[in-house]
Structures are given as structure tokens and as C-alpha cells.
């Protein structure tokens, strides 16, 4: 499998078919083989019924028994994906599937490419909270990623499979990749207003949880084991 695209789904009944159509249009034109993994994170609207009605051999659906959060949905996508290249994107289509190709163009020299929303089509409060959160996380973790919350990310398979994620760690995927020794770059991507549905994340539930998790990541970074083996022939 050449590429897998993972999208967590939580109460996105109006966006699911649009998501499949727009992502598949990009993949079909540019990759020989692909799959789209839609992880239903315990939706309470009609998302489950819509997902079960999809008749497309390139679409794989994973249902959670209950809502477990974005990190769990991302981890499940990583676990069940089969592509040599793995992409994450949100089901709300606020990022453009065509920008997968922008990230892909950096793959020759990097192992993970993190999207950075060049323009944020969100309210002023959300923009400020995002800036504060990213700045604080970088100070705590010693990283320089400007937009850890951008849902559009591209990974080599070995990067995605290297993660052992805990709750909230989806906010730190670039930093965790660096800790694991992979090459990471951040590149601008487009961002749009949400056309349907509502955002699942508020200011406070992102900011304080993110700061708490940042200290955990800093601990992981300082405690990471590094070693070099001299006698490779063992």
C-alpha cells in the first residue's frame, strides 16, 4: 500500500461523504494504491450509519465503542494503516486534501512533515489560545513547532509505527518524532472555515491539558535513551 489517510470522525455526519470524495480525488490522481481510514470516535449523530453505508473498497472504517478522544483515534489509525506513507487530516475539511501533495514533496529529505496553517480561519479567541498554547509548549519542551494543532501531517510509516501514545499526545507528534531521531519540518498549508458541524475543542479544554502534557513530554525528552553500538556484527 502506497499511502494511508487517517481521519478521526466525531459527529461529522454532514462532512463524511465530502471528505471521502475530496481525499480520494487527490489520492486517485497521484498514487498507485491508497486507503482512507475513518475512525469513528463514538459519534452520537448519524455518522456511524453513514460510515457503514459507504461502498468503497478503498475506505476502511473503525468504530469505537465510546468517545475516546483524538489521540486514541489517531493511534488506532496508525495501528491499522498499511501505507508506506501515512497522512492525518481532520474530517471537517478545514485543511485542504490537495495540500497532501505539498507535504509529500518534502518526503525525500524528511521523515515527518507537519502542516502549519498559514492563515487561520477561526475566531480571534481561538487564534489567541492557539498561539499561547503553541508558544508555551515550545518553551516547556524546547521545540520550535509553530502549529502542533494543524491536523494535516504526513509521516513515513516507520515514524507513525514508532509512537506509543498517551492521552493528549496527538498535540506533540512532531516533537515525539524528533525525540525518536526522525527528521521533521513544518510547512505552510491552507486553512478554511468549517462549512458544517461544530468544533469539538474549546479554549480551556485545549490550553490547560496541553500545558500539563507538555511537562510530560519534556520529561520524556530528558529521559530518552541514546546510544551507539560500535560492533554492528553481533
Could you tell me the residue ranges of all domains in the chain?
3-121+147-201
Q: Is the pLDDT of residue 75 over 90?
A: yes
Across 111-125, 126-140, 160-174, the highest mean pLDDT is recorded for: 160-174
Digit-coded pLDDT (tens) for 151-202: 999 999 999 999 999 998 899 999 999 999 999 999 999 998 777 666 655 5
Give the whole-number percent of the chain exceeding pLDDT 70.
85
Q: Is the pLDDT of residue 141 over 90?
A: no
What's the pTM value of the predicted model, to 2 decimals? 0.86
Three-state DSSP class for residue 154 = strand
Q: Quote the CA–CA distance of 35 and 81 in Å, as a whole number.
A: 8
- CB hemisphere CA count around 35 (13 angstroms): 20
User: What's the Cα-to-Cα distance from 115 to each of 9, 74, 92, 127, rounded to whole Å?
Assistant: 20, 16, 16, 16
Q: Is the pLDDT of residue 82 over 90?
A: yes
- Determine what percent of the chain falls in helix, strand and coil, rounding each to the nearest 5: 40, 15, 40
Q: Looking at residues 71-81, what average pLDDT do you find? A: 97
Sheet with 184-189, side-by-side order of all strands: 59-63, 34-40, 3-9, 85-88, 153-156, 112-117, 184-189
Give the whole-number percent of the chain exceeding pLDDT 90.
65
Q: Looking at residues 134-153, what average pLDDT do you find? A: 82
Q: What is the pLDDT at residue 228?
A: 80
- E strand or H helix at 116: strand 112-117
What is the chain's mean pLDDT, rounded? 89
Digit-coded pLDDT (tens) for 192-208: 877 766 665 555 555 66
Phi and psi angles of residue 155, each rounded to the nearest 5 degrees, phi first: -130, 145
Q: Is the pLDDT of residue 66 over 80?
A: yes
Q: What is the pLDDT at residue 155?
A: 98
Q: What is the pLDDT at residue 207?
A: 60
Whether the CB-CB separation of 201 and 160 falls below 8 Å is answered with no
Beta-bridge partner residues of 169: none
Place of cell 553500538: 229
Q: What is the pLDDT at residue 142?
A: 75
Pick from 92, 88, 128: which is nearest to 9 by CA? 92
Sign of CA dihedral 218, 219, 220, 222: positive
Pick from 110, 100, 77: which is nearest to 9 by CA? 77
Looking at the domain that runs over 3-121+147-201, which CATH code has it been given? 3.90.550.10
Pick from 121, 119, 117, 127: which is nearest to 151 by CA? 117
Amino acid at each position: 500500500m502506497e499511502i494511508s489517510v487517517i481521519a478521526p470522525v466525531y459527529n461529522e455526519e454532514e462532512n463524511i461523504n465530502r471528505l471521502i470524495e475530496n481525499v480520494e480525488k487527490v489520492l486517485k490522481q497521484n498514487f498507485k494504491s491508497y486507503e482512507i481510514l475513518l475512525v469513528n470516535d463514538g459519534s452520537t449523530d448519524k455518522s456511524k450509519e453513514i460510515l457503514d453505508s459507504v461502498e468503497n473498497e478503498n475506505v476502511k472504517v473503525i468504530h469505537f465503542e465510546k468517545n475516546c478522544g483524538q489521540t486514541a483515534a489517531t493511534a488506532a489509525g496508525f495501528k491499522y494503516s498499511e501505507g508506506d506513507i501515512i497522512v492525518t487530516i481532520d474530517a471537517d475539511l478545514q485543511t485542504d486534501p490537495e495540500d497532501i501533495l505539498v507535504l509529500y514533496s518534502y518526503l525525500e529529505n524528511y521523515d515527518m512533515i507537519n502542516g502549519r496553517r498559514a492563515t487561520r480561519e477561526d475566531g480571534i479567541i481561538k487564534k489567541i489560545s492557539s498561539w499561547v498554547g503553541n508558544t508555551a509548549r515550545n518553551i516547556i519542551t524546547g521545540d520550535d513547532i509553530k502549529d502542533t494543532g494543524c491536523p494535516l501531517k504526513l509521516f513515513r510509516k516507520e515514524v507513525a509505527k514508532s509512537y506509543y501514545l498517551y492521552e493528549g499526545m496527538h498535540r506533540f507528534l512532531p516533537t515525539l518524532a524528533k525525540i525518536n531521531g526522525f527528521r521533521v519540518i513544518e510547512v505552510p498549508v491552507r486553512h478554511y472555515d468549517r462549512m458544517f458541524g461544530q468544533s469539538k475543542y474549546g479554549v480551556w479544554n485545549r490550553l490547560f491539558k496541553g500545558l500539563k502534557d507538555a511537562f510530560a513530554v519534556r520529561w520524556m525528552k530528558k529521559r530518552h535513551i541514546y546510544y551507539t553500538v560500535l560492533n554492528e556484527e553481533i
